[in-house]
Structure 1
Amino acid sequence: MNFKLQLVLAFMISVICIVGFSLISLLISDHKIISFDQTVIANIQGMESPRLTSLMKLLTFIGSTPFVIILSIGLIFFLYKVLHHRLELILFIGAIIGTGALNDILKHVFHRTRPHLHRLIEATGYSFPSGHAMSAFSVYVMITFLLWRHIPSKWGRSLLIIFSTFMILGIGISRIYLGVHYPSDIIGGYLASGFWLTVAIWFFQYYKEKSYNKRYNRGK
């Protein structure tokens, strides 16, 4: 894909994400999204069963901070030792740390309390945006972005996208099912991470392009 086209596409995605997040934030502040949240919660929790609860608890554990740290350390080792990536390593670490910092800032800005309708687990802290949703989105989008060009076959890339999509959506839905987040928390988390990752990847690609052009011009 043409580099300029990449930049335009990244800009458009970032605008869509920030506009979408702003809209969700306004609806939450004006209490105009309560009906939507309650309807989605009722439908998701209406499927409650022992086996599904076990699956949702597993997914929510996979999206927890301790597991994400372990997964991130494993990927960092893989990027450094196996693929011998340096810039990609910095991008991944910056994306994950930035996601956590952004989530903390946004939670303290909005001060939204968690739902109290039907909790299957306990959780502390503010509700919006969902930290699990933001973390899952950042981790699995970054995994897809960094591993994509190392998978030669179409079916392999398709499996990577399907797996990442399942994990992102599964972790988000698990938080609604377990009663610790509103659906709008999850959507807001995805949009916030989408904006942050788009900006981070944009700078990463821009830096790589500039570095390549410098080396190319020196070689002439």
Structure 2
Amino acid sequence: MKQSLLTFIKKFQDFLQQTFRKNNPKLPYVITILVALIIVVAGLNIFIELTETLKEEILANYDQQISNYIISFRNPSLTRYFIFMTNVGDIYGYLVVLVLALCISWFFFKNWRYVAQTVLVLMLASISNVMLKRFIDRARPGIEHLVSVETLSYPSGHAMSAMAFYGFLIYIFYRFKMNNWLKYGIILLLVFIILSIGISRIYLGVHFPSDIAGGYIAGLIWVFFCILIFNLVEVFRRDPKT
């Protein structure tokens, strides 16, 4: 297996060297597109497998055990924190972040493209989440809910939107040329926000852990699918023949 992998890497490296010049500006975009495509395909397979096992007893047991463990930590301070984080993962939280992103784009980068792309990723994730919920039709957990909910359970809209929105912001910040300490500090903060929003939904009793996993996977698929499309557009835009 190891030898086959090394052979594949060598052949892929030879292909890139033969196809692209050393300083070809399109090369990073092509590599990003290939990686994004692989992750999209893998993510779709994982999401389908998870969805097909929702009614199996093994997954139900894991859901119950993980939920019981997280709920066992309930206390007034944690409840306030997770209610705050679940609000961060709601529409008003995204509006606040988008306003901040617009200000940063205007004063520092003079470029609205990243903001527009982030909004598009969030919209695609939100619309597809509504469709998936209605198609899969999974009820909420039958335990005490600490916040009110009206929609279906799988996949979690909060987890899916958080992964799509903040996940795409991670990609954007990774591409920025800025101080590495600041860059990776922001990326760690965004990862922490994504995880906190997902855990908050379990803690508040409104989602199964598998709902959160499904939401994360579906959101990640949208992130890499959009990265794939945006980079394809960039490649064609840089092509002097188009």
Alignment TM-score > 0.5, same fold: yes
Q: Distance in 2 between matches of 1:69 and 1:108?
A: 26
2:188 match: 162
How far the C-alpha of 1:81 sits from its partner, in A, is: 5.4
Secondary structure of 2:221's match? helix
Unaligned runs of at least 5 residues, structure 1: none
Aligned with residue 34 of structure 1, among 57, 60, 84: 60
Q: Does 1:10 align with 2:7?
A: no
- For the pair shown, the structure with the greater C-alpha radius of gyration is 2
When the two chains are superposed, the root-mean-square deviation of aligned CA atoms in Å is 1.9
> What is the correspondence of 1:37-52 to structure 2 with a 5 Å cutoff?
37-52=63-78
Q: Distance in 2 between matches of 1:66 and 1:3?
A: 34
Aligned with residue 196 of structure 1, among 213, 222, 225: 222
Identity across aligned pairs (percent)?
Answer: 26
**What amino acid is the match of 2:140?**
R
Q: Does 1:119 align with 2:119?
A: no
**What amino acid is the match of 1:5?**
I
Aligned with residue 67 of structure 1, among 93, 103, 111: 93
Q: TM-score, normalised by structure 1?
A: 0.90
Greater shift after overlay, 74-83 or 89-98?
74-83
Could you list the runs of 4 or more consecutive aligned residues of structure 1 that deviate by over 6 angstroms after TM superposition? none
How far the C-alpha of 1:148 sits from its partner, in A, is: 2.9
Contact 1:99/1:196 (8 A) holds in 2:
yes
Judged with a 3 Å threshold, the aligned counterparts in structure 2 of structure 1 residues 80 and 109 are, in CA distance, closer, same or farther, namely: farther
Contact 1:80/1:89 (8 A) holds in 2:
no
Q: Distance in 1 between matches of 2:101 and 2:175?
A: 16
For residues 36-74 of structure 1, the C-alpha deviation after alignment (integer angstroms, 9 at most, x for no partner) is: 100100110111111111111111111112221332243
Q: Does 1:106 align with 2:132?
A: yes
Q: TM-score, normalised by structure 2?
A: 0.82
Unaligned runs of at least 5 residues, structure 2: 1-26
Q: Does 1:94 align with 2:120?
A: yes
